[in-house]
Amino acid sequence: MFPPGPYWEGGGTHTNKPEWAKNKDNPFGQVAYKNVTVSVLYKLDLDRLINRDYDNAFTYVCNLTDGNKDDNRDVFLFPEKMKINGKMQYVMIHRPNNPALFLNNNGTYKPSIMLSAAENIKDFATDKAVHKLLATGIFDWEEEKIGASWPPIKIGDRQWLLPYHGKQLPKYGYTQSFMILEEQENDFPRIIHRCSDRLMYAQQEWELPDKFPCPCIFTTGGIVNDDGTLIISYGAADQRIGIAWVDFQELIDYIKNFDERGQRIRR
C-alpha cells in the first residue's frame, strides 16, 4: 500500500507509513501493517495508451493475491486456459512467501513457484482457487527462494518456456535461468526440462553491488523478434536497466539438455 523506498534503507521495509498503518488493528490488517506485496490485475486500453492518455488507459479489475493471507510476488497468467479438474480454467503462476499456507500446511517450503487454477480470474484471491507446488529451490544458487521472472512463452504444442530467478546470499545474489513446462491432460503443467546453470548473472561493474547489498540480475520481460532473437529486459542492482539478447531456438535447445531435476541428459 505504501512505496517501500530504496531496498538498501531499512532492509526492504523502509516506508513512510502513516500512524494508523502502524497499528496491527488497522482496517486493512497486515496489508498495511507489514506492507506486504499484493498483485493486482488491470485492463489496458491500447488506444488510450498510444494516445498517451495514461490516466484513463488502465482500469482496475481485481486483486490476484490476498495480502492478508501472505506476501505473494512474481505473479503471471498463462495466456491460454487449461483443462484442470475437468474444467477449462485460468492458470496463474505465483510465489508466496510461505507456500504451506496454500497446501493445507502439508510440507514446509521456502518461497517457491506455485500454480493456481480458477474458473474466474476474480477467484484467484479467494478460497475458490486450487493450488499446486511447481518448483522449489534445489541448486545452491536457489538456496533462499525461487520465483518466475516474467510470463511464460509458448514454444510448441502444449509446451512453455518459463524464465525464473533464484536467490542466495551472499555469494550469488539474484540470478536467472529457465525451465520448460508441458501441459498435462486434466492437470497442471509439469516441468520436463530445468536448466541447472545460472544463465544470467551479474558481471558488468554496473550490475554488481553498490547501494544494493548483493549481486542482482532480475529479468522483467522478453519478446521474440521476427529474426528469432529473444530480447530480455532486466534490472541490475535495483539501480539500472539493461537489455540482453540470445538466439531463441539455441536457448531452448540448450535447456533441453537437462531433465526435470536439472541433471544432464545423456544422448
pLDDT tens for 86-112 read 999 999 999 999 999 999 877 778 999
Dist. CA 187–CA 13, nearest whole Å: 38
Domain range for 119 is 1-7+29-136
Residues 234 and 250 in one domain: yes
Whether the pLDDT of residue 83 is over 70: the answer is yes
- At position 203, the amino acid (one-letter code) is Q
Residues 45 and 158 in one domain: no
Residues 182 and 267 in one domain: yes
Dist. CA 16–CA 3, nearest whole Å: 8
Residues 197 and 118 in one domain: no
Q: Looking at residue 200, what DSSP letter applies?
A: B
**Angle value at C-alpha 20, between 18 and 24, nearest 5 degrees:** 120
Residues 124 and 145 in one domain: no
Residues 158 and 89 in one domain: no
Dist. CA 182–CA 160, nearest whole Å: 6
Domains: count for the chain: 2
DSSP run (H or E) holding 136: none
CATH of the domain at 234: 2.115.10.20
Q: Which of 119, 136, 153 is the last residue of a domain?
A: 136
* pLDDT digits 0-9 by tens, 124-136: 999 999 999 999 9
* pLDDT digits 0-9 by tens, 153-165: 999 889 999 999 9
> What is the residue-wise DSSP string for 31-81?
HHHT-----EEEEE-HHHHHTT-HHHHEEEEEESS-TTT--EEEEEE-SS-
Q: Which of 79, 102, 136 is the last residue of a domain?
A: 136
Residues 105 and 153 in one domain: no
| Mean pLDDT computed over every residue of the chain | 93
Q: Which of 95, 111, 136 is the last residue of a domain?
A: 136
> What is the residue-wise DSSP string for 201-250?
---SGGGS-SSSSS-BEEEEEEEE-TTSEEEEEEEETTTEEEEEEEEHHH
Residues 37 and 121 in one domain: yes
Please give the pLDDT value at position 261.
97
| Residues 6 or more apart whose Cβ sits within 8 Å of residue 130 | 84, 85, 116, 117, 118
| Average pLDDT, integer, range 181-208 | 95
Please tell me the pTM assigned to this model: 0.93
Please give the pLDDT value at position 12.
54
